[in-house]
Copies of this chain bind each other. A is one copy, B any other.
Amino acid sequence: MRQYECFELALKGAEPEGSWTQVDLQAEFVCEGNIRRVEGFYAGDGVYKVRFYPDRAGRYSWKVTGALNTRGEEMCMAAEMDRREEIRRTTASHPGRETCRTTGTGQGIVRVEGMHFRYDNGTWYRPFGTTVYALAHQEKALVDTTMETLRGAPFNKVRFCVFPKHYDFNHNEPPYFPFEKKEGGWDVHRPNFAFWEALEGRIRELDAMGIQGDLILFHPYDRWGFSELGKEDSLVYLDYLLRRLSAMPNLWWSLANEYDLMPGYSHKDWEDFAGFVAKHDPYGHCLSNHNCMAYWDFSQKEITHCSIQDVNVSEVPELWEQYGKPVIFDECRYEGNIIHSWGNLSAREMTRRFWTATCCGGYCTHGETYYSEDEVLWWAKGGTLKGESPARIAFLREIVESLPGPLDFMGEGLGAFTETQLQTMQEQGPSEEFRENFFLMAMLELPRERLRSFLVKERVALGHCGQEAYLKYLERQSASVTELSLPQNGSYRVEVIDTWNMTRTVAAKNVCGKVRVNLPGREDMAVLALRQ
């Protein structure tokens, strides 16, 4: 047992009677008085498994209970059943114990902290995601290529679906399905073990590369019937998935891609799914629900962060105010050249959205849709990357990860106010200090429904990391000069960053207070001030 890594017990027994997904198998893990109860699952071929994620090192003991062998046979020692090394030894009726060691390699599950994310080991995690919806549903050779591409790419999160995808450029049949077919649909009580083993294998590969799997549990683009399982079967599916996968550290749950395009599920269903996932995932992985149009209500208590489809990547402060949770623009459209407007961003534009979201305190997710005759587009099938944004995203990631902590929105000028602050001033009148602010007073005359668009227009993508670092992104401004207002009591080194050409040039050293910085008068520039 190793801290932050999935621990697995395997038990041999008779094939379950009835459901193969909802078997009666539980385990209780105790470490220094802390008890965690988890559920096991049937892995096929007479093997039952219990997986557990230890978030602390120490002496663990456990016991396994349940009436999984409905024919009354005693489960035999797992050691006797086969020689696969990863299968650990125990019995259902006897307790086990083991020391969980700190290895220093695993970082653990990513969790929300404030408006940002941290691994269980305390390291900050900044999502730089990409999207390969049908990653797991391609032929092995293509998935291998995808994995190889990810190894060299700047992404540390990948959004992909449990169910296969049917859509433009997605007409192939997947190698296997998550469940067995039955008359008129899918038998969610009969998992297709080969599918789940392959899926887990890919998740482990991602983990080895330091990549989070943002697993999409439902989605609408379907010709097989997985988008219309119905609520009851959907809960059975979720139950099985959570028993199998919850203990894998590098997973997030995305209830749906585009929940609002799935007429088979009501708003209440999604609320219930969120509740079910939160209840049945013992470890509290990140959980969200991704829209096509109307955002999910991220204030729902089980939802950990905002997973947004929209192009408004500078509205992080407003989203923070509204939901009080971290903001990831999981689809801000894709770099590519296809006919659809969501799939033909230039590489510059994709890069801009990353920079803007980042400097406003949020996070962004990449996708790529360059047309290809073989219909292998990265966004759905993976393969290789063709675009020019990943190199720039790597450049940004390197800068951001060199900072001592996450970037919070700061802004400047009128765009530094938030919608709520202005609404309050409209209702209650501005405080004394603002009454001489000519522009602010005029801004308060805006109709309430125009406040946000005005703020966004005035917004400066300026983030800070305490007083340690200030990162200002000029986006499309082609300025020949900009200004930073640094603390008077610090000493800063200022760099001019060309976000497209990926250059960093020191512009000033040992400066503080109001600093003017010359710029080359073209788009895509940024300025970084680092405390020395």
Residues of A within 8 A of B (CB): 260-261, 263, 292-294, 310-312, 336-339, 341, 344-346, 349, 371, 438-439, 441-443, 445-447, 449-450, 453-454, 457-458, 460, 476-483, 521-523
Q: Do residues B445 and A294 form an inter-chain contact, with CB atoms below 8 A?
A: yes
Whether B293 and A454, one on each chain, are in contact in the complex, defined by CB atoms closer than 8 angstroms, is: yes
How far, in whole Å, are A344 and B519 apart by their CA atoms in the complex? 12
With A341-B460, A453-B312 known to touch, is A476 a contact of B442 (CB < 8 Å)?
no
A349 to B352, CA, bound (A): 14
Contacts of A345 in B (CB 8 A): 476-478
A258 to chain B, nearest CB (A): 8
Verify A476–B346 contact, CB threshold 8 A: yes
Interface majority SS on A: helix, strand, loop or mixed? loop
* Cross-chain contact A261 with B337 (CB below 8 angstroms): no
Q: How far is the CB of A150 from chain B (nearest CB, A)?
A: 24
The 10 residue pairs across chains A and B that have the minimum distance between CB atoms:
A337-B480, A337-B521, A344-B479, A346-B478, A294-B445, A260-B442, A344-B477, A294-B446, A344-B478, A293-B442
Are B292's CB and A442's CB within 8 A?
A: yes
Asked if B294 and A479 make an inter-chain contact with CB atoms under 8 angstroms apart, the answer reads: no
> Which residue from chain B places its CB closest to the CB of A481 in the assembled complex?
B339
Q: Once the chains bind, are A457 and B339 in contact (CB under 8 Å)?
A: no
CB-nearest residue of chain B to A478: B346
Find out whether the CB atom of A294 lies under 8 angstroms from the CB atom of B453.
Answer: no
Given contacts A263-B438, A293-B454, A339-B481, 18 further A-B contacts (CB under 8 A): A261-B439, A261-B442, A263-B441, A292-B442, A294-B450, A337-B478, A337-B521, A338-B479, A338-B481, A339-B479, A339-B483, A344-B477, A344-B521, A345-B477, A346-B478, A346-B523, A371-B480, A453-B453
Q: Decide: B341 and A294 in contact? CB cutoff 8 A.
A: no
Q: How far is the CB of A371 from chain B (nearest CB, A)?
A: 6
Chain B min CB distance to A340 (Å): 8
